[in-house]
């Protein structure tokens, strides 16, 4: 992703610019439903941004969780990773099996490691170990190490 990576949708650009409110009531609720719809958009860039924006909201409704869980299954690895992070921020237990799945893929974006850091479950330790090998991207390596350290410092959240 380049520094000019932005969605094709003007609606999403307006959310990024904080010109459109999101909430559970009134006009903000209409915008929230529209944002959720964009998580399934045909355009991968729109899906990525919509999932990121949805994950970053403080809103935690059944519709938000459903949209994030659905986005986790997206074919685009970045959309999936942003969805995982959004789920982790809302419910570590719900995110734990998704994190296991994400860590077994061939590639893990930074958002996966951010989610693992939040989940901080010891059962993810062995799945995290291969990701801390030097990748040539120091910022990503640091993020992976932070995630592993979080897992090593915590117990099992399922108990």
- Residue 4 is predicted with a pLDDT of 74
Q: Are 139 and 133 in contact (CB under 8 A)?
A: no
Instruction: Residue 93: count other Cβ atoms within 10 Å of its Cβ.
Output: 12
Rounded to whole angstroms, the Cα distance separating 34 from 17 reads 16
pLDDT value at residue 66: 98
Question: How far is residue 89 from each of residues 26, 42, 92, measured CA to CA in Å?
Answer: 25, 26, 7
Spatial distance between the Cα atoms of 112 and 13, rounded to a whole number of angstroms:
24
Distance CA 68, CA 98 (A): 11
Joined together, the tokens standing for residue 147 give 């995630």
Q: Are 82 and 114 in contact (CB under 8 A)?
A: no
| CB contact at 8 A, 47 and 71 | yes
- Whether 45 contacts 75, CB under 8 Å: no
Q: d(Cα 38, Cα 153) in Å, to the nearest integer?
A: 37
pLDDT in tens, the chain (159 residues): 455 789 999 999 999 999 999 999 999 999 999 999 999 999 999 999 999 999 999 999 999 999 999 999 999 999 999 999 999 999 999 999 999 999 999 999 999 999 999 999 999 999 999 999 998 999 999 999 999 999 998 655 554
Distance of CA 143 to CAs 60, 94, 106, 147, Å? 26, 22, 17, 6
Residue of 141, 76, 139 whose CA lies nearest to 105: 76
pLDDT of 159 reads: 46
């Amino acid at each position: 992703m380049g520094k000019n990576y932005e969605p094709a949708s003007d609606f999403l650009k307006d959310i990024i610019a904080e010109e459109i409110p999101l909430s559970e009531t009134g006009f903000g609720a209409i915008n929230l439903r529209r944002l959720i719809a964009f998580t399934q958009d045909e355009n991968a860039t729109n899906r990525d941004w919509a999932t990121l924006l949805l994950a970053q909201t403080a809103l935690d409704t059944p519709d938000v969780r459903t949209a994030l869980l659905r986005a986790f299954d997206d074919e685009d690895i970045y959309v999936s990773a942003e969805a995982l992070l959004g789920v982790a921020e809302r419910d570590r237990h719900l995110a734990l099996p998704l994190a296991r799945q994400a860590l077994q893929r061939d590639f893990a974006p930074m958002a996966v490691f951010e989610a693992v850091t939040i989940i901080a479950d010891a059962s993810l330790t062995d799945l995290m170990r291969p990701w801390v090998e030097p990748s040539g991207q120091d910022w990503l390596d640091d993020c992976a190490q932070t995630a592993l350290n979080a897992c090593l410092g915590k117990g099992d959240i399922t108990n």
